[in-house]
């Protein structure tokens, strides 16, 4: 392979959770390492490897291990709990076997960069004497909330209406990750989120895909306790600093985008006139919420580009696509980065998954936040109250964001009195994002520091007397 023909300084094995929202940030970090002379190998499951392809121009190898469900992935498991426990048992063994294979190949592994949802991977890294590097794809704010719960410093169920944690703004209970303020839902995911921090004190490094100024106070608080570094934004270089010319996309996409249809449609629309709507690759809106959102978009009279996954199309109101074809375009997937950078986009109506938020912030796109679950409520809190580049659409007592609220929020972000302030803040975050990852920026320096640690590990590993 092309990788094997280069004189690599060290070798990092990157092991994200097998979902696009986890793979993409890790893959982008790997590209940064490769640009600095480090060999990077991405590890995924045998099942997922059947549907993904890493662009050869990224110079990143792809290897596979088993999660115990090689024919169907997590959908094959009888429950989330079964998937998590089986992955730990089978994954530990097959990951160790992979490291042995790579060590015999002439490119021995020096560091294991593992997803925070796999705390057991630390033990595998320890077995082989590798740098133990925890990679978090959520914000530092979400990490520190979960850490406080795991250590018993924040007790759940929450006892009061306000949550106070060092480094964070005061939050209402509904601003915390959904697994924490509503323990009745997704109990298995609660365990996954909180258990990330069981062995955090044994890590050598903790990496987050945000950047320092995004979460300055909480980053500083965490960095005093662990070797925590921000290395983002984990967005392809050509959208930011442009120092990696081949880095124009994430290189992995589990859905097929309707690229030409989206971009051609946007070309015909006025500047800053279109609302881009997407709830990511996982979130599933209920039928009632989907229909309220649909009528809110129609009532706003804005142009809209709405991504509705093929499995969700049945939730749209009858004849909605036909009735709104003069104003809207509904597609099953799209090239989100290309869309967000298009001059026709005026705002992003988003579920506030962290990758989507990071993209919008990096590209200077105002947001209307409609969080659903997981870390999304906390991300929405930051969008509105910390970064001040959007508005959170408030749900009613039934948890539904009604059409009237959608209309009001869109008008406020697109044309209201707040719109100029929000757009100015969005432009400022775009500038700060580029500065962070550009040469000499905080994230760039942090990556250089990590590379230096890798090289030090390589030298020590080659010394027989150590």
pLDDT of residue 406: 98
Q: pLDDT digits over 389-399, tens only?
A: 999 999 999 99
DSSP conformation class of 382: I
pLDDT of 437 > 70? The answer is yes
pLDDT of residue 54: 78
Average pLDDT over residues 133-140: 98
- Cβ atoms of 272 and 397 closer than 8 Å: no
- Cβ atoms of 461 and 110 closer than 8 Å: yes
Q: pLDDT digits over 219-274, tens only?
A: 999 999 999 999 999 999 999 999 999 999 986 666 666 688 999 999 999 999 99
DSSP conformation class of 399: S
Query: Is 115 a catalytic site residue?
Result: yes
Which of 22, 74, 212, 351 is flagged as catalytic? 22
pLDDT of residue 106: 87
State CA 64 to chain mean position distance. Answer: 21
pLDDT of residue 3: 44
Report d(CA 219, CA 408) in Å as an integer: 34
Side-chain half-sphere exposure of 160, counting CA atoms within 13 A: 6
Confidence class of residue 434 from pLDDT cuts 50, 70 and 90? very high
* Neighbour order of strands in the sheet with 345-350: 328-331, 303-307, 274-278, 345-350, 367-369, 390-392
Which of 61, 67, 115, 444 is flagged as catalytic? 115
3-state secondary structure 199-217: CHHHCCEEEECCCHHHHHH
pTM over 0.85: yes
pLDDT of 465 > 70? The answer is no
Please report which residue ranges of 259-343 form alpha helices under DSSP H.
Answer: 259-267, 287-300, 320-323, 336-340
pLDDT of 125 > 80? The answer is yes
DSSP string, 142-184: HHHHHHHHHTTSS-SS--SSEE--TTS--EEGGGS-HHHH-TT
Q: Which residue from 283, 284, 266 is spatially nearest to 275, judged by alpha carbons?
A: 266
Mean pLDDT (the chain, rounded): 93
Q: Which residue from 312, 214, 15 is spatially nearest to 134, judged by alpha carbons?
A: 15
pLDDT of residue 1: 41
Confidence class of residue 197 from pLDDT cuts 50, 70 and 90? very high
Q: pLDDT digits over 3-21, tens only?
A: 455 679 999 999 999 998 9
Query: In sequence order, which residues have a C-beta less than 8 Å from that of residue 443 and are 6 or more positions away?
Result: 211, 212, 230, 231, 232, 233, 436, 437
Per the listing, tokens 């023909």 go with 5
- Tokens standing for 250? 């994430």
Q: pLDDT digits over 156-168, tens only?
A: 989 889 999 999 9
- Cβ atoms of 294 and 317 closer than 8 Å: yes
Average pLDDT over residues 68-89: 94
Query: Is 22 a catalytic site residue?
Result: yes
Q: pLDDT digits over 294-346, tens only?
A: 999 999 999 999 999 999 999 999 999 999 999 999 999 999 999 999 999 99
- Tokens standing for 199? 């062995």
């Amino acid at each position: 392979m092309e990788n094997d023909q280069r004189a690599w300084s060290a070798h990092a094995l990157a092991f994200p959770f097998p979902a696009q929202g986890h793979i993409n940030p890790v893959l982008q970090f790997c590209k940064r390492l490769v640009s600095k002379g480090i060999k990077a190998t991405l590890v995924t499951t045998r099942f997922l490897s059947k549907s993904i392809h890493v662009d050869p121009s990224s110079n990143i190898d792809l290897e596979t291990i088993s999660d115990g469900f090689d024919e169907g992935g997590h959908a094959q498991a009888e429950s989330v709990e079964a998937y998590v426990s089986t992955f730990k048992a089978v994954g530990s063994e097959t990951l160790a076997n992979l490291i042995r294979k790579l060590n015999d190949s002439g490119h021995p592994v020096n560091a294991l960069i593992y997803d925070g949802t796999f705390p057991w991977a630390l033990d595998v890294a320890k077995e082989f004497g590798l740098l133990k590097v925890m990679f978090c794809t959520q914000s530092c704010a979400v990490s520190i909330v979960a850490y406080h719960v795991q250590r018993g410093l924040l007790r759940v169920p929450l006892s009061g209406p306000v949550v106070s944690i060092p480094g964070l703004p005061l939050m209402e209970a509904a601003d915390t990750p959904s697994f924490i303020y509503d323990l009745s839902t997704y109990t298995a995911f609660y365990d996954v989120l909180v258990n990330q921090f069981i062995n955090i004190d044994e890590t050598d490094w903790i990496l987050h895909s945000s950047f320092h100024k995004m979460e300055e106070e909480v980053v500083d608080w965490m960095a005093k306790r662990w070797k925590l570094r921000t290395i983002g934004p984990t967005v392809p270089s050509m959208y930011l600093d442009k120092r990696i010319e081949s880095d124009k996309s994430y290189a992995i996409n589990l859905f097929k985008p309707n690229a030409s249809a989206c971009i051609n449609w946007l070309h015909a629309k006025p500047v800053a006139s279109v609302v881009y709507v997407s709830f990511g690759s996982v979130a599933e809106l209920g039928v009632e919420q989907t229909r309220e959102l649909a009528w809110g978009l129609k009532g706003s009279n804005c142009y809209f580009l709405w991504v509705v996954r093929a499995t969700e199309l049945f939730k749209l109101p009858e004849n909605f696509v036909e009735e709104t074809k003069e104003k809207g375009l509904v597609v099953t997937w799209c090239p989100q980065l290309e869309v967000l950078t298009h001059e026709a986009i005026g705002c992003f109506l988003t579920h506030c998954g962290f990758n989507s938020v990071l993209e919008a912030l990096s590209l200077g796109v105002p947001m209307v936040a409609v969080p659903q679950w997981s870390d999304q409520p906390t991300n929405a809190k930051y969008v509105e109250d910390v970064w001040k580049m959007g508005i959170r659409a408030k749900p009613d007592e039934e948890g539904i964001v009604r059409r009237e609220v959608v209309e009001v929020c869109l008008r406020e972000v697109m044309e209201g009195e707040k719109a100029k302030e929000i757009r100015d803040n969005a432009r400022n975050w775009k500038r700060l994002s580029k500065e962070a990852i550009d040469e000499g920026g905080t994230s760039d320096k942090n990556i250089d520091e990590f590379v230096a640690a890798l090289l030090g590990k390589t030298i020590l590993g080659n010394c027989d007397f150590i």
